[in-house]
């Protein structure tokens, strides 16, 4: 674990002291967006990241470039820590050295349902045990802090595939029932369904975060994300839908589409919109609450429609290959109903749709992708 006396100075706790946010997975998409967002608002940012994403998905998924950007952007207000959340003693030491922690944003995860089947112990250790370690360290060392957890829509397993879906020209669409208009809300069951091992480990974490809010009274919030996306996503084939898709479109790499005729639908939320929802929750936390969080009907597309958008934006025809077999536990149609969060926090709103996101991903990353080639 790396630290310095200067940057790990304990806060005084007096009025006017610099607030501290502790972020796990700070080199990832949501973690880095969180660091920049709260850093710009005067927070001291403690970022915990050990670049396991490179271990999961290979060198092109490394987050070291993102951490370097954070260090340059935030300077002395950013404290990078290399630590493993599966080690409770190491996690507790981070909290103890940090002093007063006002906000914990736990984004570190093994994020791929395909990869989880390769190493179930690694997946469960990071997603479930790691989350328990973070919760317990917060309870012991920072019980007044807000605790935000990035869960996933995969906690619902493949239950959404039982909805009344209609095949249309470029997509599957939910055409009847309570979810057809606004999307899927938090009342959908997470039981009696195929989750993938990743989904199961995230269910364990999800429920534990709720319980620490309801049982211990910690200010915990669960955000069940759809496709989380943005320009600092180190996209790889097994994780990072829009980022990897645009990378393939811009560089001429072949993109593989898995099952459902390429008409599977996803909603996509920009990481900046997601992090803005974290701030809203932090300002008025509701302990143990759960929110579906995604692009909703405002920002969603099918795989075919996303490919067409990429071709339109880049002016290039994409190389795509269709694989008949879909991924285990994958959704045919997912659109998040975010009306519960909007009712609780009416000042928050989505600002970027799929085209906005894809254009930003391309503009931000194209120079780096050219260098990689």
Q: What is the pLDDT at residue 369?
A: 87
Cβ neighbours around 315 below 10 Å, total = 7
Give the pairing of strands 289-293 and 255-258: unpaired
Task: From 223, 187, 181, 229, select the one nearest 345 (Cα to Cα).
Answer: 223
Q: Please check whether residue 287 is in contact with residue 219, taking contact to mean a CB–CB distance below 8 angstroms.
A: yes
Nearest-angstrom CA–CA distance, 222 and 145? 15
Instruction: Supply φ then ψ for residue 307, to 5 degrees.
Output: -60, -45
State the pLDDT at residue 4.
35
Cβ burial of 216 (10 Å; 0-12, 13-18, 19+) is middle
- The residues near 290 (Cβ < 8 Å, ≥ 6 apart) are 151, 186, 206, 210, 221, 222, 224
Would you state the pLDDT for residue 1?
Answer: 36
For residue 6, count other CB atoms closer than 10 A to its CB. Answer: 8
Q: How far apart are CA 148 and CA 31, in angstroms?
A: 11
Q: What is the pLDDT of residue 13?
A: 40
How confident is the model at residue 11, as a pLDDT?
Answer: 39
Which pLDDT score, from 0 to 100, does residue 305 have? 98
Give the separation between CA 217 and CA 94, rounded to whole angstroms: 22
Q: Would you list the DSSP string of 15-59?
A: TTPPPEEEEETTTSHHHHHHHHHHHTTT-EEEEE---HHHHHH-G
Contacts of 64 (CB under 8 A, 6+ apart): 27, 51, 54
The structural domains of the chain, ordered by start, are 20-368 (3.40.50.720)
Contact criterion met (CB below 8 Å) for 305 and 238: no
Per-position DSSP letters for 116-175, written without gaps between them: HTT-HHHHHIIIIIHHHHHHHHHHHH-TTSEEEEEEEGGGGTTGGGGS-EEE-SS-EEE-
Residue 174 φ/ψ, nearest 5 degrees: -80, 120
Q: What is residue 129's predicted lDDT score, i.e. its pLDDT?
A: 98
Rounded average pLDDT per 10-residue block, the chain, 373 residues = 35 61 96 97 97 91 92 97 97 97 97 91 98 98 98 96 97 97 97 94 98 98 94 75 92 95 96 97 98 97 97 97 89 97 98 97 91 76
């Amino acid at each position: 674990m790396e630290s310095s006396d200067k940057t790990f100075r304990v806060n005084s706790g007096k009025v006017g002291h610099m607030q501290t946010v502790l972020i796990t997975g700070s080199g990832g998409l949501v973690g880095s967006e969180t660091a920049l967002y709260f850093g710009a608002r005067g927070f001291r940012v403690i970022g915990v990241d050990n670049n396991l994403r490179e271990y999961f998905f290979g060198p092109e998924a490394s987050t070291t470039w993102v951490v370097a950007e954070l260090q340059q952007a935030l300077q002395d207000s950013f404290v990078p820590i290399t630590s493993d959340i599966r080690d409770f003693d190491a996690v507790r030491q981070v909290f103890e050295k940090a002093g007063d922690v006002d906000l914990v944003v736990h984004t570190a995860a093994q994020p791929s349902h395909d990869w989880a089947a390769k190493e179930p112990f690694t997946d469960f250790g990071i997603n479930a045990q790691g989350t328990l370690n973070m919760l317990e360290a917060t309870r012991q060392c920072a019980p007044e802090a807000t605790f935000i957890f990035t869960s996933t829509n995969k906690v619902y397993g493949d239950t959404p595939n039982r909805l009344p879906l209609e095949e249309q020209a470029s997509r599957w669409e939910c055409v009847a029932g309570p979810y057809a208009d606004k999307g899927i809300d938090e009342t959908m069951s997470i039981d009696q369904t195929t989750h993938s091992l990743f989904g199961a480990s995230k269910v364990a974490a999800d429920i534990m975060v709720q319980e620490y809010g309801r049982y211990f009274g910690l200010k915990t919030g669960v955000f069940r994300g759809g496709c989380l996306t943005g320009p600092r996503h180190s996209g790889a084939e097994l994780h990072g839908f829009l980022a990897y898709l645009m990378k393939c479109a811009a560089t001429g790499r072949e993109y593989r589409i898995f099952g459902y005729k390429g008409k599977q639908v996803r909603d996509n939320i920009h990481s900046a919109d997601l992090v803005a929802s974290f701030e809203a929750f932090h300002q008025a936390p509701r302990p143990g609450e759960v929110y579906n969080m995604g692009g909703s009907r405002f920002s969603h597309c099918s795989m075919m429609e996303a490919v067409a958008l990429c071709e339109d934006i880049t002016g290039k025809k994409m190389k795509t290959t269709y694989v008949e077999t879909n991924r285990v536990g994958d959704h045919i149609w997912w659109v998040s109903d975010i009306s519960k969060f909007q009712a609780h926090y009416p000042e928050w709103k989505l600002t970027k749709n799929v085209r906005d996101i894809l254009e930003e991903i391309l503009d931000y990353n194209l120079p780096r992708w050219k260098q990689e080639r």
